[in-house]
């Protein structure tokens, strides 16, 4: 079957959306990490921008392998975005017009130095920024060591950006704007500090210029993007009548929140649907506590109740009602107000996303790394309620489900996937739920050691864990009535 390329656009079925223009697109954005999330998320926004402003085509840069960029190049940069929802749709994206792999270093260097490049975006995962545990640049990271040694071709995205900024400064050109698009709290501030720290080792004047002239907005991105699989490829091929070797899929919901840094980004991202705000942190906190907190709750309670996916757990009416009540009663009242953010609309959107049967999000995947995630996803809400003199019974019950989950895993010989997995397994292997709760608190494993001094909270948590482990779901799911 013929490959999806520019020549195929005119013959696609009418219901499939396609790029409105391709003949006059220029490159204005360099993107590092053109994986599935970038192509399903940021590239779709840029594709919308290009309908009105053709200056902002994307140069896709892959630092490690040529697989994705080669597939895009073979298809003239075209690929299909499948929206998996109650009203599914297909859209051909045409935002990419340059394709650079690890063998195209000279071309990448030239692009970063080109004054037409106004924006450099990244989706390289949290690890790709080479940061230490405290969020600062890890000077001992092998990629950073390599780049600071004077190597001609950088190995890190920080090295690439500083190299490009140095070229811009040397040519007396304005800097491009770096924009990290990975879910790392305060990602803009952390990347800016890393760029300055890296440059400081090599050139103090360059570091001062980056510190004073380069703006790096923090961002928050969100859209569930399952991996592309054989079923997706088959569905797309059947619908298009052409082969597509680079399709992506996501839910209908998508969110891109960008910090207003007082300078234009280049492309009009707000016109394409992005949210520009002075308070990205407020949006991050809402997402972490509402979406992620509810996700973890569904994972542990859902697995204990025999469910496999998020949508299956949401089809459990009692559990869905419990999660909605937790968001409304325990989480939302403790969130600071954010200008322009409709928290109730966001709550409804989150619940609708969870119930989407077209997205199969496995609970056992969400349940991983609980000792690292729960202090932020549920623990911060717990602390905020306690400072306000409230006992958030839904959150307590959710934490009790995590304890019961650990107990079931350890007693059934199921590995606990968590950086502290071995310690959690040992802590939950023996004793009743009360004993396990006390042990986890004493070890500060997922449950703060400060809980030991909070008699009311500790007692409620012991009861919640006991009820969840014993399968007394009437007691677990009705605990919201005890909130005060």
Handedness of CA 419, 283, 57, 194 (dihedral sign): negative
For the chain, give every domain's residue range.
6-278, 281-482
Which position has the token pair 């902002």?
A: 56
pLDDT score of 483: 41
Asked whether 468 and 382 are in contact (CB, 8 A), the reply is: no
281-482 matches 6-278 in CATH topology: no
Q: For the chain, report the end-to-end CA distance as a whole number of angstroms.
A: 64
C-alpha 277: how far from chain center: 18
Q: Indicate the class that CATH gives domain 281-482.
A: mainly alpha
pLDDT score of 295: 96
SS3 category, 165 = helix
The total of other beta-carbon atoms located within 10 Å of residue 444's CB is 14
pLDDT score of 236: 97
Euclidean distance between CA atoms 463 and 449, whole angstroms: 18
Long-range contacts of 372-375 (CB under 8 A, 24+ apart): 372/418, 372/419, 372/420, 373/292, 373/296, 374/296, 374/399, 374/402, 374/446, 375/446, 375/448
Euclidean distance between CA atoms 33 and 68, whole angstroms: 9
SS3 category, 418 = coil
Say what the pTM is: 0.91
Q: How long, in residues, is the chain?
A: 484
The total of other beta-carbon atoms located within 10 Å of residue 110's CB is 13
Tell me which CATH code domain 6-278 carries. 3.40.50.720
Euclidean distance between CA atoms 326 and 348, whole angstroms: 13
Euclidean distance between CA atoms 8 and 374, whole angstroms: 48
Handedness of CA 433, 434, 439, 445 (dihedral sign): positive
Averaged pLDDT in 10-residue chunks for the chain of 484 residues: 93 93 88 97 98 96 95 97 94 97 97 98 96 95 96 96 98 98 95 98 97 98 93 96 97 97 96 97 96 97 97 97 97 94 96 94 95 96 97 97 98 96 97 97 96 96 97 83 41
Which position has the token pair 């990602």?
A: 187
């Amino acid at each position: 079957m013929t490959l999806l390329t520019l020549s195929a656009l005119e013959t696609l079925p009418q219901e499939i959306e396609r790029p409105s223009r391709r003949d006059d697109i220029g490159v204005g954005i360099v993107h590092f990490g053109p994986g599935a999330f970038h192509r399903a998320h940021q590239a779709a926004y840029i594709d919308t921008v290009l309908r009105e402003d053709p200056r902002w085509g994307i140069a896709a840069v892959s630092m490690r392998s040529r697989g994705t960029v080669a597939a895009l190049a073979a298809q003239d940069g075209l690929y299909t975005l499948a929206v998996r929802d109650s009203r599914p749709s297909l859209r051909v994206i045409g935002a990419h017009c340059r394709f650079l792999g690890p063998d195209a270093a000279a071309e990448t260097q030239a692009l970063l130095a080109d004054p037409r490049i106004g924006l450099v975006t990244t989706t390289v995962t949290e690890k790709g920024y080479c940061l230490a545990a405290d969020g600062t640049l890890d000077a001992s990271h092998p990629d950073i060591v390599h780049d600071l040694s004077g190597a001609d071709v950088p190995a890190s995205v920080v090295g690439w950006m500083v190299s490009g900024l140095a070229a811009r400064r040397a040519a007396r050109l304005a800097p491009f704007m770096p924009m990290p698009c990975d879910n790392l709290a305060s990602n803009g501030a952390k990347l800016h500090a890393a760029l300055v720290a890296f440059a400081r080792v090599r050139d103090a004047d360059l570091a001062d210029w980056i510190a004073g002239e380069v703006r790096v907005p923090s961002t928050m991105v969100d859209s569930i993007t399952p991996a592309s699989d054989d079923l997706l490829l088959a569905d797309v091929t059947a619908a298009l009548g052409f082969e597509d070797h680079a399709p992506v899929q996501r839910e209908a919901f998508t969110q891109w929140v960008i910090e207003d840094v007082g300078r234009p980004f280049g492309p009009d991202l707000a016109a394409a649907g992005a949210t520009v705000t002075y308070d990205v942190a407020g949006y991050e906190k809402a997402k972490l506590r509402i979406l992620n907190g509810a996700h973890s709750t569904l994972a542990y309670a859902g697995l204990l109740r025999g469910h496999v996916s998020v949508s299956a757990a949401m089809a459990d009416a009692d559990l869905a009602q419990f999660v909605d009540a937790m968001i409304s009663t325990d989480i939302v009242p403790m969130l600071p107000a954010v200008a322009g953010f409709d928290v109730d609309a966001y709550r409804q959107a989150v619940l609708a996303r969870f119930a989407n049967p077209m997205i199969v999000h496995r609970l056992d995947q969400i349940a991983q790394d609980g000792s690292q995630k729960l202090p932020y996803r549920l623990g911060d809400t717990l602390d905020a309620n306690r400072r306000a003199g409230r006992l958030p019974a839904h959150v307590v019950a959710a934490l009790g489900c995590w304890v019961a989950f650990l107990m079931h895993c350890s007693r059934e010989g199921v590995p606990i996937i968590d950086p502290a997995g071995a310690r959690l397994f040992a802590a939950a292997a023996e004793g009743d739920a009360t004993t396990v709760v006390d042990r986890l608190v004493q070890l500060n494993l997922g449950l703060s050691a400060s809980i030991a001094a909070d008699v009311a909270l500790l007692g409620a948590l012991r009861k919640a864990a006991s009820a969840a482990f014993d399968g007394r779901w009437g007691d677990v799911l009705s605990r919201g009535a005890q909130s005060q």
